[in-house]
Chains A and B, each alone.
Chain A
């Protein structure tokens, strides 16, 4: 069992930030009422080897948002019927945490404040610099990927931790607090051997190979 656990250690590491290789799971969603702008953005995204999906109105996007995979949203502010910020609000209500890059032709301070408060991860003015926009898209996608991975790791950590028995959990807390086995045995009034036994069980359950792995899993599980 420890062997198997050792092989899975890498999965606890964050992916490198410089990793620009397109993630085929990710899609760039584009919401803009102007067709030429949509076309331009789509071409730009396509040239980076990214998937794209265009919506003419905010409503159309909102209607199909539940079926969409991971990625990011390029959102225009000024649109008839439902504006960009209004869509942001609606998405937040539905707890869709798709990262959003707001693209606007008219960046006044109130709009910027509203958009950022609404949780947009970036705010780009039209006309944009294509390379810069692409960099931001990548950044956004990466961060999404990272967040997604982090969320997965944490979920796994929490799941793994849930498998620990109460005694194992006590032992683990002692380990995380930096106590030696003997000291833990003393604290819990159990034998040194028993602590070692529990420790091996913890390592296996948390798929950890070293003490640091255990600490990391605990930290992951306890972070928000």
Chain B
């Protein structure tokens, strides 16, 4: 190795792009052997074009061997066999390479070919470069004729240096041995710096760039060659560079520790890119002040930040919009925490409930619920979450003590981690609607009652007859018995039988009275489960009074079993009675021979049952069929015209439908449907 290292060798390795064969290789031993006294130098050429190489080889033939390196790696690998390195114009980062060469421990002279116009700048830079030792020389290409001499001197210089410092050489050769195992620390640092994902930029106090690592170049989209020696201003935009200048000035100034600055380099890079710059002061060998700028790509962070700001802005706008919406909406809105304590109410809430926002916030929602709904509301609050959301009618008490009714759909609110935050309630004031509904319902009930009383009035003679029968029987039996008893002519059997008959007749009279009283009673609607067939059977005796009066048999055709319905018993009895009453009157007017009255129940579809009352009267003419349900429409000379209108409103209120039609066999048929009770 040692001999080989000092063997004069002249070889020019052409660069790959030229494709030239290494022509000078055979000449090397000749040159070496031609001048054994003068030790021949070994010069590595990197990225030096072939012409220049050949020219140099020609000029220094026999004295110096040239070796063209295929790439940087080869150069660095063969560094130990070299005496001088010449870096060509195409080497992109000559200063850094020089640094690496130096840091590899070989104090080799490095010649950096440079364009004449950049020569001075490069020279300046090299003076300040912290890692570069001596003997790095920028060489303008317009002075190529002197290069050979310079190279010769350099070779001499390095050989002289080597011979003078044997110790150093020895240690260096030791280090070289170590180096083959692992790179020296400085080289390692250098590599680290080069490969680290942070940019390093050395500048002087004027902001002239003295050095940079590869990452900095990538970050700023600039080659070392373009960057070195230029001011920051020519790379960065005006505002950004002034920011950097200030940064440098601050870090150079004693006792001031500069804060990192974020610099927008989009202009020079061409796409959105942000770099965070941290500056630390730098003093070079000559005592010149400068700064090392550590660049870090924070594009992601900045754009994320920007995005966050934008999102926050959008959120703020949207929140404001919602807040306005919430404030100006006509429905009352309240927010509560998880304990149902009010945390927010909107203006409509204040308007509807009469309390100002300050008066309600912090109080429990239940405080405002009307007494009648308190228990139910309390249960609802403690119940598990509803799904789906239901709507509730709730009564509240306003500040001035009024009772109001709202339609509320409470929604539970959760934080992103499914934590229960509280409730959002929107309250629609339906007090007025409710009052109207109540009034209408009351009117309907009153009308229905009037109609029932009227019907009973119309039936009064029949009813009187119905009551007279048992009374007559009772009167006859009791008087007769008494007389027989007084005369001592009463047999035991006579009396027993008569008393049994009397009691039976009395209960018959009682039943009629009770049924009548129930029927005419004016009560609120009481919804209960109703078995329709049973209802018809219980109303039959009442109907029968009239039917028998006119000697008219009623036929029942009830399908069993029939699903239950929910409704008000009295009102539904009234419906049946009204329809039968009408049917009887219709047939009476006709004086027909064959009178038929049939009450039929069927299952219309799974959700409805159907009850029909058909007669064999004259039927309804086509023009009248649409009008029969109109209020005050009547065909009877003394009719009010309310019967069917009320009947229909009763059926409507039960969620059913009342219809009139003509029977196929003649006569009218009135039918109504009633919804089957839901399974609750």
Chain B, Cβ-Cβ closest to A30? B476
Contacting pair A126 B469 (CB below 8 A): yes
In this assembly, does A102 line the interface, its C-beta being within 8 Å of a C-beta of chain B?
no
Contacting pair B471 A126 (CB below 8 A): yes
Residues in chain A near residue B476, CB distance under 8 A: 37, 39-44, 130, 133
In this assembly, does B487 line the interface, its C-beta being within 8 Å of a C-beta of chain A?
yes
Docked CA distance A137–B71 (Å): 152
Interface string of B495-518 (1 = CB under 8 A from A): 000100100110010000000000
Chain B nearest CB, measured from A124 CB (Å): 10
Interface string of B474-487 (1 = CB under 8 A from A): 11111111111001
- Known A-B contacts A80-B548, A106-B461; the reply to A36 vs B505 at CB < 8 A is yes
Docked CA distance A69–B477 (Å): 25
In this assembly, does B551 line the interface, its C-beta being within 8 Å of a C-beta of chain A?
yes
Chain B nearest CB, measured from A168 CB (Å): 53
In this assembly, does B465 line the interface, its C-beta being within 8 Å of a C-beta of chain A?
yes
By DSSP majority rule, is chain B's interface helix, strand, loop, or mixed? helix
In this assembly, does B229 line the interface, its C-beta being within 8 Å of a C-beta of chain A?
no
Residues in chain A near residue B489, CB distance under 8 A: 47, 49
Partner of A40, one of B464, B475, B483: B475
Q: In residues 348-385 of chain B, which contact A (Cβ within 8 Å)?
A: none
Contacting pair B480 A40 (CB below 8 A): yes
Contacting pair A130 B461 (CB below 8 A): no
Chain B, Cβ-Cβ closest to A130? B479
Residues in chain B near residue A197, CB distance under 8 A: none
Contacting pair B551 A80 (CB below 8 A): yes
Contacting pair A45 B464 (CB below 8 A): no
In this assembly, does B533 line the interface, its C-beta being within 8 Å of a C-beta of chain A?
no
In this assembly, does B643 line the interface, its C-beta being within 8 Å of a C-beta of chain A?
no
In this assembly, does A166 line the interface, its C-beta being within 8 Å of a C-beta of chain B?
no
Chain A nearest CB, measured from B160 CB (Å): 155
In this assembly, does A140 line the interface, its C-beta being within 8 Å of a C-beta of chain B?
no
In this assembly, does A128 line the interface, its C-beta being within 8 Å of a C-beta of chain B?
yes
Most buried by A among B475, B482, B484: B475
Most buried by A among B468, B472, B479, B501: B472
Partner of A126, one of B465, B483, B549: B465
Residues in chain A near residue B501, CB distance under 8 A: 36, 39-40
Contacting pair A105 B468 (CB below 8 A): yes
Docked CA distance A56–B467 (Å): 20
Chain A nearest CB, measured from B196 CB (Å): 119
In this assembly, does A114 line the interface, its C-beta being within 8 Å of a C-beta of chain B?
no
Docked CA distance A43–B494 (Å): 9
- Known A-B contacts A47-B479, A127-B475, A130-B480; the reply to A105 vs B469 at CB < 8 A is yes
Contacting pair A37 B473 (CB below 8 A): yes
Interface string of A72-88 (1 = CB under 8 A from B): 00000010110000000
Contacting pair A43 B480 (CB below 8 A): yes
Residues in chain B near residue A131, CB distance under 8 A: 479
Residues in chain B near residue A97, CB distance under 8 A: none
Contacting pair A40 B472 (CB below 8 A): yes
In this assembly, does B462 line the interface, its C-beta being within 8 Å of a C-beta of chain A?
yes
In this assembly, does B88 line the interface, its C-beta being within 8 Å of a C-beta of chain A?
no
Docked CA distance A41–B472 (Å): 8
In this assembly, does A224 line the interface, its C-beta being within 8 Å of a C-beta of chain B?
no
Partner of A127, one of B471, B494, B549: B471
Residues in chain B near residue A37, CB distance under 8 A: 469, 472-473, 476
Docked CA distance A197–B571 (Å): 93
In this assembly, does A108 line the interface, its C-beta being within 8 Å of a C-beta of chain B?
yes
In this assembly, does B470 line the interface, its C-beta being within 8 Å of a C-beta of chain A?
yes
Contacting pair A34 B461 (CB below 8 A): no
In this assembly, does A117 line the interface, its C-beta being within 8 Å of a C-beta of chain B?
no
Residues in chain B near residue A133, CB distance under 8 A: 476
A/B interface sample: 5 pairs, CB < 8 A: A36-B508, A40-B472, A40-B476, A46-B484, A105-B465
10 closest A-B pairs by CB? A40-B476, A43-B480, A130-B479, A127-B471, A47-B483, A105-B465, A105-B468, A36-B473, A126-B468, A40-B473
* Other contacts beyond A44-B479, A130-B475: 17, CB < 8 A: A39-B473, A40-B475, A41-B476, A42-B480, A43-B476, A43-B498, A44-B476, A45-B480, A46-B484, A47-B481, A47-B482, A47-B483, A47-B487, A48-B483, A125-B468, A126-B472, A130-B478
